[in-house]
A and B are shown apart, each in its own frame.
Chain A
Amino acid sequence: MSDAASASVRDLSGATNMIECEGVSKWYGDFQALNSVSATIKEQEVVVVLGPSGSGKSTWIRCINKLEHHQEGRIVVDGVELTNDLRNIEKIRSEVGMVFQQFNLFPHLTVLDNITLAPIWVRKKPRGEAESAARALLDRVGIPEQADKYPGQLSGGQQQRVAIARALAMEPRVMLFDEPTSALDPEMIKEVLDVMKGLARSGMTMIVVTHEMGFAREVADRIIFMEDGMIVEVGTPEHFFTNPTEDRTKLFLSQIL
């Protein structure tokens, strides 16, 4: 029996493994971007990845849906191993949603078309069904009235929320966030973080690369600290922010807090 002292720390010991990484390494030419990264993310777990820039955080989560190719090690997503087999990659990509720092919405399509594109062409859903699902998602991220606008007409925060809705439209089992608030003006960060908190509460498995310490402290089940392509320290937010063991973690925290 685990005590219920902290509401945010959930008991996930019984959950199945969603993502397993084993000794993942990657080089850009001579530069080693990832150095034998091993981690296991359980179903419904929210993991925040911290670290200085250039530490390999983004590279790692981009490897998980094969936007980057790792050269050594194993990545298994929901029981399917990532190989060069195209069918595997497509299966995994349709189960793993991704949100980018620069939103990467499709500027020539309306918000609604941005969201329904993949359900219609990948999932082969009827258009009517895809559109009503898309409107429901826009409602969930708080901008139902923007459905027929173009991305260029929205604010940064609204665009990022559309991007989240677009990823959710594929009904993914995992969501990856690659610095989702770094390109936003400060007053828009909160609206995006609120959507992400709601998503975490609904039981979505999430890996979030971010510099938002408040979000990490409040929402994360676990925090992974990376530097120079390696995982330096892993722990609960409480452990991480109050009692870190590694010197490099302490140095990092002293610089940002």
Chain B
Amino acid sequence: MAQVGALILVLGALGFLVSQAGDNLRARSIPTGFDFIEQPPGIQVGEGIQTRDFETGGRALWVGMVNTLRIASAGIVAATVLGVIVGLARLSHNWIVQKVSSVFVETLRNIPLLVQIIFIFTVFTTLGNVSLDSGPIHGWLHISNKGLSVPRVFGLNGSFQWLAFMAIGALVARWAHHHQVRKQEETGQLGYPIVAAGGVLSVFGIVGWFAHPVMGFLGPVFGLIADALDGLPEETLQLILAVLSIVVAILWIRRFLKSMSSGGGRAKLTDDDWFRMIFAFAGSVLVAFAVLVVWPGLSSWLLNSGRDFFQLLDDRFGSGNGGRPFDGKRPDIVKPGNFANYGPAGLTLTPFFAAVFFGVVLYTAAFIGEIVRGGILAVPKGQTEAASAIGLKRSQALRHIILPQAFRIVLPPLGNQYLNLTKNTSLAIAVGYADVVQVGQTIYNQTGRTLPVMAIWMLFYLACSLTISVVVNFFNVRLKLVER
């Protein structure tokens, strides 16, 4: 009873605050609508998949989100690799390696990230202007106040055929790897699984470079699929989807029941188990109903996009002419007006991107290094002793005993660092990198929609954080040590 009272009290207070806020916003005529998402924003952004002439504000925000995700995802990979190296280096017995890594960690984690980002950006702005003969490796690598540009590799017409060739190569390599491992386990002779798999892959890569047109037969096959999808009536797909949904639910329930029964017989089902099964079946019926009656547009959309996809594959596979599948281009310099800049040929990191990217990567790598070091040290000393006592070499002990256990210890704090890295990319505002915050700020300066833009920011970062948490938790649960 007291709890219900408290709930009513809290809800009442919340409602009062919300209505007060609404009154005040209206009184000061602060707009709160989301209409700017649909209207042309009339802004430009620094870089991204599109930089000007946006049709809607939503599109401009999306460009900012892609820029944020680009830095966050590349940053997570780079920071993990660098952090693991630093962490292992701090445990090294080599004096120089150990000292260098200690200095790396202590310097980077004790300077605010904002200062580091501005520092890296400043370093770029003090570099020379772009010119044709600038850069440490003439014509190949340019570093200037316009950023860093390296040669780009891109696919030509034959690249799809080559990739299909490599997919077969990967299957064969997998089989070779498996075969070598089996041989090692059955005969005790040392196998070479990695060497065998790598060899198979490189043979396929080289042969495929010349022989990739043989995969051209896939083009007509995809064309046939596209035609079949084109000829399929919408009602048939609706029926297929509905039946599929119910069949999947029934299969899941059967598997669930099987997992609940042990050798002796079926375990007693709890209310929760019954609820799960009923929920699964009801859900599937609901899906079937939606597909058939409520939302027929879904089926036609699926049909159309499926047809377009296979049509595209047909075109790509048909257009090979036996030339090399990939090519590279060196960075080029263009001079549209008074100022030279990098052209589209090279792969260019702008100073804005580079400052934020290297800032968050170095900063986070320092913390990840400490986490890795701590994780390895946290594996009890008895584990190392037991491994030595049964005759394992130090490298074997590390691989089979220490690292698998250290990984389990490291995973949750590592997830925290990934969250931090993602959120820290918002410091991009300091150097004007066009991330979601910077684009959003430009939009609300134009439209005055401060609160809606902030709501979008929060939802976006929330979605990023939840995604990372879900992934980390998945591995955390899977790798958990089994105990009573």
Question: Which of A128, A129, A170 interacts with B391 by CB under 8 Å?
Answer: A170
Stretch at the interface among B132-140, B152-160, B180-188, B302-310: B180-188
Question: Which of B185, B393, B405 interacts with A126 by CB under 8 Å?
Answer: B185
C-alpha gap A32/B482 in the complex (Å): 42
B255 part of interface (Cβ distance < 8 Å): no
Residues 67-106 of chain A: 1 if any B CB is under 8 Å from the residue's CB, otherwise 0? 1000000000000000000000010011011101010111
Question: Which of B185, B189, B389 interacts with A167 by CB under 8 Å?
Answer: B389
A107 CB contacts on chain B under 8 angstroms: 405, 481
A190 part of interface (Cβ distance < 8 Å): no
C-alpha gap A106/B404 in the complex (Å): 10
- CB-CB contacts below 8 Å: B301-352 with A: none
Contact status A67-B389, CB under 8 Å: yes
Question: Which of A104, A108, A129, A170 interacts with B382 by CB under 8 Å?
Answer: A104
A112 to chain B, nearest CB (A): 14
A108 to chain B, nearest CB (A): 5
B481 CB contacts on chain A under 8 angstroms: 107-108, 150, 152
Please judge, given known A-B contacts A107-B405, A126-B185, A152-B484, whether A90 and B385 are in contact too, CB under 8 Å: no
C-alpha gap A125/B401 in the complex (Å): 19
A67 CB contacts on chain B under 8 angstroms: 385, 388-389
A127 part of interface (Cβ distance < 8 Å): yes
Contact status A118-B390, CB under 8 Å: yes
A173 part of interface (Cβ distance < 8 Å): no
B57 to chain A, nearest CB (A): 51
Name the CB-closest residue of B to A107: B481
C-alpha gap A94/B390 in the complex (Å): 6
Interface residues on B, range: 20 to 34
Name the CB-closest residue of B to A115: B390
A122 CB contacts on chain B under 8 angstroms: 390-393, 396
Main secondary structure of the interface of B (DSSP, over half): helix
B380 CB contacts on chain A under 8 angstroms: 104
- CB-CB contacts below 8 Å: A180-200 with B: none
- CB-CB contacts below 8 Å: A121-158 with B: 121-122, 124-129, 149-150, 152-153
Contact status A124-B188, CB under 8 Å: yes
A65 part of interface (Cβ distance < 8 Å): yes
A117 part of interface (Cβ distance < 8 Å): yes
B405 CB contacts on chain A under 8 angstroms: 106-108
Contact status B484-A121, CB under 8 Å: no
B271 CB contacts on chain A under 8 angstroms: none
Contact status B396-A121, CB under 8 Å: yes
Please judge, given known A-B contacts A126-B187, A128-B186, whether A100 and B385 are in contact too, CB under 8 Å: yes
Count of A interface residues, CB-CB < 8 Å: 35
Contact status B185-A108, CB under 8 Å: no
Contact status A117-B185, CB under 8 Å: no
Choose among A90, A98, A108, A152 the residue with the greatest number of B CB atoms under 10 Å from its CB: A108
Question: Which of B188, B189, B383, B396 interacts with A104 by CB under 8 Å?
Answer: B383
B477 part of interface (Cβ distance < 8 Å): no
Contact status B391-A118, CB under 8 Å: yes
B483 part of interface (Cβ distance < 8 Å): yes
Contact status B392-A98, CB under 8 Å: no
Question: Which of A126, A127, A152 interacts with B483 by CB under 8 Å?
Answer: A152
C-alpha gap A90/B387 in the complex (Å): 11
User: Which 3 pairs show the lowest CB-CB distances between chains A and B?
Assistant: A152-B483, A94-B391, A104-B386
A26 part of interface (Cβ distance < 8 Å): no
A105 to chain B, nearest CB (A): 7
Chain B residues proximal to chain A, CB less than 8 Å: 185-190, 380, 382-383, 385-393, 396, 400-401, 404-405, 408, 481-484
A97 CB contacts on chain B under 8 angstroms: 389-390
Contact status B404-A108, CB under 8 Å: yes
Name the CB-closest residue of A to B382: A104
A166 part of interface (Cβ distance < 8 Å): yes
B182 to chain A, nearest CB (A): 9
B391 CB contacts on chain A under 8 angstroms: 90, 93-94, 118, 122, 170
Chain A residues proximal to chain B, CB less than 8 Å: 65, 67, 90, 93-94, 96-98, 100, 102, 104-108, 117-118, 120-122, 124-129, 149-150, 152-153, 163, 166-167, 169-170
Contact status A124-B190, CB under 8 Å: yes
Contact status B385-A167, CB under 8 Å: no
B158 to chain A, nearest CB (A): 44
A100 CB contacts on chain B under 8 angstroms: 382, 385-386, 389
Question: Which of B383, B389, B482 interacts with A98 by CB under 8 Å?
Answer: B389
Contact status B389-A126, CB under 8 Å: no
Please judge, given known A-B contacts A67-B388, A127-B186, whether A121 and B400 are in contact too, CB under 8 Å: yes
C-alpha gap A170/B186 in the complex (Å): 19
Contact status A105-B404, CB under 8 Å: no
Contact status A104-B484, CB under 8 Å: no
Question: Which of A65, A106, A150, A170 interacts with B482 by CB under 8 Å?
Answer: A150
C-alpha gap A149/B483 in the complex (Å): 9
C-alpha gap A126/B190 in the complex (Å): 10
Question: Which of B185, B390, B408 interacts with A166 by CB under 8 Å?
Answer: B390
Name the CB-closest residue of A to B188: A126
B185 to chain A, nearest CB (A): 4
Name the CB-closest residue of A to B396: A121
Contact status A118-B392, CB under 8 Å: yes
A124 CB contacts on chain B under 8 angstroms: 188-190
C-alpha gap A166/B385 in the complex (Å): 14
C-alpha gap A73/B389 in the complex (Å): 22
Name the CB-closest residue of A to B479: A108
Question: Which of A105, A125, A150, A169 interacts with B188 by CB under 8 Å?
Answer: A125
C-alpha gap A107/B480 in the complex (Å): 10
B387 CB contacts on chain A under 8 angstroms: 106
C-alpha gap A121/B395 in the complex (Å): 11
C-alpha gap A167/B391 in the complex (Å): 10
B484 CB contacts on chain A under 8 angstroms: 152-153
Choose among B189, B386, B390, B396 the residue with the greatest number of A CB atoms under 10 Å from its CB: B390
B390 to chain A, nearest CB (A): 4
Choose among A104, A117, A128, A149 the residue with the greatest number of B CB atoms under 10 Å from its CB: A104
Contact status B382-A152, CB under 8 Å: no
Please judge, given known A-B contacts A118-B392, A153-B483, whether A105 and B386 are in contact too, CB under 8 Å: yes
B388 CB contacts on chain A under 8 angstroms: 65, 67, 93
A119 to chain B, nearest CB (A): 9
C-alpha gap A129/B396 in the complex (Å): 21
A129 CB contacts on chain B under 8 angstroms: 188
C-alpha gap A126/B383 in the complex (Å): 24
B389 CB contacts on chain A under 8 angstroms: 65, 67, 93, 96-98, 100, 167
A169 CB contacts on chain B under 8 angstroms: 390
Name the CB-closest residue of A to B390: A118
A197 to chain B, nearest CB (A): 22
